[in-house]
Structure 1
Amino acid sequence: MSTEQIGMPSRRRILGGAAALGAGAVVTVGAGPALAAPRPPAGTPAPAVPGAVPQPGPAPEFGAATVTPADARYRDLVRGMNQRWVGSPESVRVVDSTAQVLAVVQEAARAGKKLTVHSGGHCYEDFVFNASTRIVLDMSEMTSVSWDDRFKAFAVEAGATLLDVYERLYKVWGVTVPGGMCYSVGAGGHVSGGGWGMLAREHGLIVDHLYAVEVVTVDAAGTARVVVATREPNDPERDLWWAHTGGGGGNFGVITRYWFRSPKAVGTAPGQALLRPPAEVFISAISWDWAQVTEAALTRLTRNFGAWHVANSAPGGPYGGLMSFLKLNHRSNGQIGLLTQMDATVPNAEQLLHDFIAAVTEGVDIPTGPVTTAMGEHGPMPEYYTPQRMPWLQSARYLGTTNSTLVDPSLRGDYKSAFHKRNLTDAQIATFWKHLTRTDLDNPGAMVLLSSYGGAVNAVAPGATATVHRDSVFKLLFQSYWPSAADDAVNIGWLRDAYEETYRTTGGVPVPGDTTDGCYVNYCDIDLNDPQHNRSGVPWYTLYYGANYPRLQQVKAKYDPKDRFNHGQSIRLP
């Protein structure tokens, strides 16, 4: 869907019935909304009428569409981006309003049918498309992005994709949210899992700017209702807001809308409600030829990258606007690479970027060159061997849309993650070398990716949001993409070997402690449930949620007491 269509004033302007809710209010099928009177967002005057009530959602442009196996559209609608997962539901329901969502959820609850939710389609496991799902609720047409004057916040429907959100917010109001890089990721799952991206070190996670969420839940009696929960301290539904600041998708109900307003925002105008990105950034991309890479060079490069982040990950400072990715591709790729974005508006930005690259490459005695191969999500980018200054939105578009791997309809994938508080050991880097140079795998799409973290992310307390990982300095993603089911075993086996050997001293996973801090829930990995692969004795939910898990269970018990919303790693009832 084009950016111009999103949130246009003429589109879906009026919605009666269930979606017209106040903060902390709920409505059940057949009931009118019960309005509450929460405080307005911090820094704003009191609303003109009693009760800060969000504006109604956009009016639907179409009635909910039902797609069954007999329909030619069915095969397109029962799969996401990862072609390992193809569902076989009784039907897919394509919806266009909160009221339509409410009706489908109520139908599923009455019939006792399992329902799962699809928005952008980037779920790494089979949590949406699996054999037990009977109804898939497709949110991908709920894409409105608009200003809600009564909440003094931006409303974003769950099906809106990230680049469309960025384009709408920035072109119209000059603001943004610090979300992810891939353009086609849907807001619904991205935000609920914590959501990090290129502006994270400068502005935190996307959930650090989440003001409210609208969720369709089902109570113990089987009655569906719409709940609007805000971060206001006096909101009786505040725990539901908190659970959606990193508690993961598919756990508590169906998310239909988010509202964003930065916690330190003052004033009532849209341009004052959210952060302003840097007007310009630098992008740099350099590579090393695998034919010249030695184990000593790879060790030094990886150690340098980690050490720089350990030393430069406190909130604030001149490097808050830097985000970098060390792409350790399998040898069959031909290159390894370093991709970096730097806020070009800070004083001496170009020299800071040069100094960062010099610190990472210090002692690496092989020449650098342009990136001429595809690396993980991104294609070749030889023009950025010399850092290029470009407007922020152009950069977001470029980095977001050059990751064709993520949206290639022929590819299968597998993924594993780790948060690090301290640097990798030489033994762990030696494990990288061992598996990146294995000859039983010939896949340029296999890699270990080290990503910047910390900065403003770490300025928030671990319990203030459901995202517990607030003292890590960089993050690892072990991933592989391949085109054929015949290659599943070799690729999944390679990932398991590399990951479990990297963390062999802690049972094959990065247990929370002094050095590592568990895993990222948006990079879901069902192997964490399996004692054959997770031998640590630390359960998957501790790796994802740490000390926040018991509170998430209490929210689950309140809003989904019959566990109707569940998957392989959903929050368990207490």
Structure 2
Amino acid sequence: MSPTENPPAPAPPGTATVRPGDPRYPSLLDVYNHRFGARPEYVRVAASAAEVAAALREAVAAGKRVAVRGGGHCFEDFASSPDIEVLLDVSPLSEVSFDERRRAFAVGAGATLGHVYRTLFTRWGVTIPGGTCFDVGMGGHVAAGGYGHLSRRDGLVVDHLYAVEVVVVDAAGEARAIVATREPGDPHRDLWWAHTGGGGGSFGVVTRYWFRVPDARSGGVPAARLGPGELLPAAPARVHRRSIAWSWDGMTEDAFAAVVRNFAAWHEANSAPDTPAAHLWSNLVVNHRSAGSFGLISVIDEAVPRAAAVLDGQYRALTAGTGVEPAADEHDVVPWWSTWMPSFNWPPDPAGRYKNKSSYLRRGFTGDQLATAWSYLTDPALDDPAACLVLSGYGGRIGAVAPDATASRHRDAVLKAMFCGGRWDSPELDDARVDWIRRFYRDVHAGTGGVPAPGDGAYIGYPDVDLADPEWNTSGVPWHALYYGDGYARLQDVKRRYDPLNVFRHALSVRPPK
């Protein structure tokens, strides 16, 4: 047995198994996207890797279809499809601590981003460059690559991933926990690599992650000589925050196109890894006209030299030649954690029905694409303020990492787009609302077969099963090329090695090699 493997252990007594009829059952099935809902035979609530392994042995031996959830978000039905017979809930695995032996921060896969941020910041003054939605679960967020408001400054979350603990199932149905690290000599290094952007639910059950700065960012100082406060990026003390809003009243198509074009052009010109502007992160949320307005939020660490000037320069570039003045413009300096971070937990009301899509952009939208976006975002037949196009700043330190160093391949993008179909409550609206966002996305990408060009691609953290549907993807480019580029064959090899029975599968999971 490899020294990085943990011997199988029986599940500790008291493992929770929740079946229909138990008052806990409905709550454990509550999901982020209410379009989906599973009715498994039982839910196993696991609080350790040993409990996860025991649950997997039992389910695999019985031939049961297993799915895993950490209690966070999923845009599709990966943990809530009707064929799931056993749901493995790892949300109790939420501890955040410092591992002295590995000289890294250990984070349970069931922890939410909000819990992780609060613990890292209040105990050690450090952070990770993760997302801005606090109830996202770490298990899936990290495996998808992990991106957020500090990524232009610090890179992706996986650029700080030192190790991952994964419970895998071998060809005999035996489950065991493996710790895979980024160390070059680790025999399980490919399993670590697969969790740096290969998506969740394909290789095993993640129970824990360990984080510390990349070796290249530590100045060559061994981890053993660095204190905990030096082993992850320092959290900003205070940030400049600028919030701008444009009213839809009086907004023309030309002005709309100019705002979006300027936003993209600024990122095209200011996304080199070492530019001072790489410290600035922006989110342009173009809500549907029924919202009344749309807006931008930009933040930059106050400690960055000439931070206010960088922020002002972006404002001038963004508003130049638009012919329309913002309806609101607020600029303040606020504490990073206590003021800004909690205020940007999007969406504020996650319960509902959704359909969202994504694209990476290496350059701004064309004129035809902007005209299409205008037509959908001003569509009078739709009345939903939550329907929107979100453009988030990418680039900066993200682009300082080689594309094949991790499974996150889209390192040369300057923007990440999310197409949001809004939020609704009634199942009767599903067909119409899903059709609207499908057509919006397809028509924006009409020139490349209804999906992004392969060099642009899409983000597996916002999974979209339509990319694997020939009705909506007419490009001839397979879905996995959009998500993983030329890294898919390597992911398949990891799949073959660690999940030979294909226990871990869903609509967009890595397929076993033929």
Q: TM-score range by the shorter chain?
A: over 0.9
Which one of the candidate residues 176, 179, 199 is aligned to 2:130? 179
Query: Is 1:476 equivalent to 2:424 in the alignment?
Result: no
Q: How does 1:415-430 map to 2 (within 5 A)?
A: 415-430=356-371
Whichever residue aligns with residue 506 of structure 1, its letter is T
Question: Partners of 1:153 and 1:535 in 2: how far apart?
Answer: 45
The range that moved more, 106-115 or 389-398, is 389-398
CA positional deviation for 1:80: 1.3
SS of aligned partner of 1:248? coil
Percent identical pairs in the alignment equals 49
CA positional deviation for 1:399: 3.5
Distance 1:429 1:23, change over 3 A: farther
CA positional deviation for 1:396: 5.3
Q: How does 1:7-406 map to 2 (within 5 A)?
A: 24-29=4-9, 63-263=14-214, 264-265=217-218, 266=221, 267-370=225-328, 385-395=329-339, 397-401=341-345, 403-405=347-349
Whichever residue aligns with residue 341 of structure 2, its letter is R
Which whole-Å deviations, capped at 9, do the CAs of 1:291-311 have from their partners, x for residues lacking one?
Answer: 111001001001101111111
Structure 1 partner of 2:436: 494
Structure 2 partner of 1:53: none
SS of aligned partner of 2:330? coil
Question: Partners of 2:2 and 2:68 in 1: how far apart?
Answer: 24
Which one of the candidate residues 477, 488, 497 is aligned to 1:549? 488
Distance 1:487 1:325, change over 3 A: same
Which whole-Å deviations, capped at 9, do the CAs of 1:7-30 have from their partners, x for residues lacking one?
Answer: xxxxxxxxxxxxxx9863243357
Query: Is 1:505 equivalent to 2:505 in the alignment?
Result: no
Question: Partners of 2:397 and 2:381 in 1: how far apart?
Answer: 41
8 A contact 1:24–1:227 mirrored in 2: yes
8 A contact 2:72–2:112 mirrored in 1: no
Whichever residue aligns with residue 159 of structure 2, its letter is D
Which whole-Å deviations, capped at 9, do the CAs of 1:87-135 have from their partners, x for residues lacking one?
Answer: 1100111121111111111111111111111113301000100111111
Which structure's relative contact order is higher, taking Cα pairs within 8 Å and 6+ residues apart?
2
Whichever residue aligns with residue 53 of structure 2, its letter is L
Question: Partners of 2:182 and 2:325 in 1: how far apart?
Answer: 51
Which whole-Å deviations, capped at 9, do the CAs of 1:304-344 have from their partners, x for residues lacking one?
Answer: 01111111111011111111111111111111111111221
Which one of the candidate residues 412, 417, 420 is aligned to 2:353? 412
Which one of the candidate residues 498, 504, 508 is aligned to 1:569? 508
8 A contact 1:115–1:133 mirrored in 2: yes
CA positional deviation for 1:352: 1.5
CA positional deviation for 1:450: 0.8
Question: Partners of 2:270 and 2:109 in 1: how far apart?
Answer: 34
SS of aligned partner of 1:338? strand
SS of aligned partner of 2:423? strand
Structure 1 partner of 2:473: 534
Distance 1:234 1:396, change over 3 A: farther
The range that moved more, 345-354 or 423-432, is 345-354
Query: Is 1:518 equivalent to 2:457 in the alignment?
Result: yes
Question: Partners of 2:250 and 2:438 in 1: how far apart?
Answer: 27
Whichever residue aligns with residue 151 of structure 2, its letter is A
Query: Is 1:443 equivalent to 2:394 in the alignment?
Result: no
SS of aligned partner of 2:276? coil
8 A contact 1:285–1:337 mirrored in 2: yes
Question: Partners of 1:307 and 1:24 in 2: how far apart?
Answer: 47
8 A contact 2:4–2:179 mirrored in 1: yes
Cα RMSD over matched residues?
1.6
Structure 1 partner of 2:407: 466
CA positional deviation for 1:464: 0.3
CA positional deviation for 1:443: 1.1
Distance 1:402 1:426, change over 3 A: closer
Gaps of at least 5 residues in structure 1 are 1-20, 31-58, 371-384
Whichever residue aligns with residue 500 of structure 1, its letter is R
8 A contact 1:23–1:229 mirrored in 2: no
8 A contact 2:162–2:181 mirrored in 1: yes
The range that moved more, 560-569 or 318-327, is 318-327
Which whole-Å deviations, capped at 9, do the CAs of 1:188-220 have from their partners, x for residues lacking one?
Answer: 000000010010000000000000000000001
Question: Partners of 2:410 and 2:46 in 1: how far apart?
Answer: 34
CA positional deviation for 1:86: 1.1
- 4+ residue segments displaced more than 3 Å: 399-403
Whichever residue aligns with residue 494 of structure 1, its letter is W
Which whole-Å deviations, capped at 9, do the CAs of 1:502-554 have from their partners, x for residues lacking one?
Answer: 110110000223xxx11000100000111110000001111000011000000
8 A contact 1:163–1:397 mirrored in 2: no
Whichever residue aligns with residue 104 of structure 2, its letter is A
Gaps of at least 5 residues in structure 2 are none
Whichever residue aligns with residue 376 of structure 2, its letter is H
Which whole-Å deviations, capped at 9, do the CAs of 1:377-426 have from their partners, x for residues lacking one?
Answer: xxxxxxxx421211222245324446313x2x3x1100110001112111
SS of aligned partner of 1:450? strand
Whichever residue aligns with residue 570 of structure 1, its letter is S
Structure 1 partner of 2:374: 433
Question: Partners of 2:469 and 2:109 in 1: how far apart?
Answer: 31
